Chains A and B, each alone.
Chain A
Amino acid sequence: MLANILQNLINALQWGSFYALIALGYTLVYGVLTLINFAHGDVFMVGAYIAFFVATFLLTTIGLPGWAALALTIPLTMILTSVVGVTLERVAYRPLRRKGANRLYVVITALMCGLILEHANLAILGASRKAFPPLIQETVYNVGGVVFTNLKLGVIFTAILTFLFLHWVVTKTRVGMAMRAISYDKFAVPLMGIPLDHIIVVTFVLGSGFAGLAGLLFAMSYPVLEPYMGALIGWKAFIAAVVGGIGDIRGAFLGGFLLGAVEILVVAVFPSSYRDLFAFSVLLIILVFKPTGLFGIAKTTKI
């Protein structure tokens, strides 16, 4: 019985780690720009594909051993995925921001960019799925009936480390303070001599970089890649971020793990076709009772 609970807990944490890593990208950008970056889920997908190409290149062309390839793939994936994210910001969002365009237009642009990423992938790489090459030896542990692998532990560990790192960035560094300042008052910040654009780029670097990391880890855990893999996960991670309380990274992590828990629980009890139904329903119900999310702060309108 206890083993069963622990098993589900570990599965939930692992599954939720992906949501959490993606959710924090949404929440960082929303906190700073009040923009729902609908393309973010697809940035995750791009990250997974980047990881695929980098890993394959390192393994086969260069002939590095698995662990060395992994050690190089992680930073390369994160950097290259950040580039994708920042390019999106520079090319699509910044011109609209400059013009002072209605937020809605930027959101629509984000939605469209996501679609372009998905279908460009489909067009360029074709519909066949890609198999991610194994990078590490997966060892299975069995502790008292609870089964887990080193990879699963690695994923959970990475998520927690990421949270600690980002929490440090947001609360202890100047960049983080600037990010928080922008979320309170976007107009005052440049007046105080803080370069708005730089901070926004940093935000996208962080968000996209960790989405790339999530993509790599996801590809290692579930080694079949296809162009639409980011869409559903992206939507769910976004809703998880909102339920946790968007704009607050604790909210993103809480929301991500909560969603993971809900889905694992549902699949444990019901047929798996009910998973999405329950996931979305639970999230909706939480939103009804706590509209600002679990960690969210209610912002009142002044009249």
Chain B
Amino acid sequence: MLRRYSVHILLILAGGVLTYLAYEELVSLYILSVLMFMGVNVILSASLNLVNGYMGEFSCGHAGFMCVGAYVSSVLGVFLFAKDKVFGAPLLDPSLALYAFPFIILAGGVAAAVAGLLVAIPSYKTRGDYLAIITIAANYIIISIIQNLGIIGGSRGFMGMKSVISSMEDVVDLPWMPIWVFIFTVFTVWVLRRYVSSTFGKGVSAICQDEVAAEIMSVNTNKIKTISFMVSSGLAGVGGGLFAYVIGYVNPGSFNILKSTEVLVMVYLGGMGSLSGSVLSAVLFTVLLEALRPLQIIKWIVIPLLLVILMQFRPEGIMGNKELGDVFPWLKKFYKFK
């Protein structure tokens, strides 16, 4: 009985420890923010892996969907619960922010999913490489649209999320951002795992391995591609929303092709088609980014070089398409990975 729920217990404990450490300020704000970025990176890496790993496509514009989610959640939150220059007084009572927050983040996710739908549709008739083009173009288009929306700051950016967070902390005095990031990270991995381990989700893998056979063996390939793309971009939107609130400020330039490339690096580093790999590589990558912070200039030489070397000698990444349970079979007693 204990064994079956061991992972759940572990997660609750981890969440509790994190909350305690943050509340008592036993860890520095810096470490806390690194941990939160780690969570966001896990969400981004795992969600992109669904399309680039499990489905074997080449989507290069993940940051664009992040941007949609970031802006929708930020603007919604500030509009409803904070006083700011653009929207004036909050529409609703700020003390409700705590209960509405998850929905605000999810709203960002839904908006990003719709953006994903719009991007996916033109890709049906086109060959594999074309998704790269479409997603890159979409990334630029999304940033460009936001830059032209002066009402929410355009290129200068948008802020006000900090006051939404303070409103939450006024109601219940807990470090809310680390908690929300933790919850949504677990949620993301949970959703993705349940999707790909079901027979329904295995259709994604079938499309990757042989799309013609999948289509003829009763898999509605367009529908599955659409769903997968929407889930992937929706979760990226969730990550984007959390990212925006963690920083407290958002501007379209942060979601450019460089950010998309960061996520690509994480996916291929971890291993295409491995959820454990994505989580692992997100953690490692975040640490690497922080370690290279003093060497800001060569950061973006080291990281691409790393991936080039990876492609030469271990293109399947850290985990390949295996899960932790394949590498450490004794873990399978506690958790069904596939």
- State the A residues within 8 Å of B (CB): 36, 92, 95-96, 101-102, 104-109, 111-113, 115-116, 118-120, 122-123, 231, 235, 238-239, 242, 273-274, 276-277, 280-281, 283-284, 287-288, 291, 299, 301, 303
Contacts and interface: CB of A to CB of B under 8 A. Distances in A.
B315 A235 contact: no
B307 interface: yes
Interface string B285-314: 000000000000111110111011001100
Contacts, number: 109
Contacts of B145: 277
Contact of B133 (A239, A276, A277): A239
A280 B308 contact: no
A280 B137 contact: yes
B315 A239 contact: no
24 contacts: A96-B312, A101-B311, A102-B315, A105-B311, A106-B311, A107-B58, A108-B264, A108-B268, A112-B304, A115-B301, A119-B304, A122-B297, A122-B300, A123-B298, A239-B133, A239-B137, A273-B147, A276-B144, A280-B141, A281-B137, A287-B126, A288-B122, A288-B125, A291-B126
Contact of B307 (A112, A280, A283): A112
B226 to A, nearest CB: 15
Contact of A280 (B144, B212, B301, B305): B144
Nearest to A113: B308
Contacts of A239: 133, 136-137
Contacts of B301: 115-116, 119-120, 123
B246 to A, nearest CB: 25
A241 to B, nearest CB: 10
B19 interface: no
A182 B303 CA distance: 33
B337 interface: no
B300 A274 contact: no
B148 interface: yes
B107 to A, nearest CB: 24
B129 interface: yes
B257 interface: yes
A8 B304 CA distance: 40
B141 A291 contact: no
Given A95-B312, A116-B305, A273-B148, A284 B134 contact: yes
A109 B258 CA distance: 15
B132 A36 contact: yes
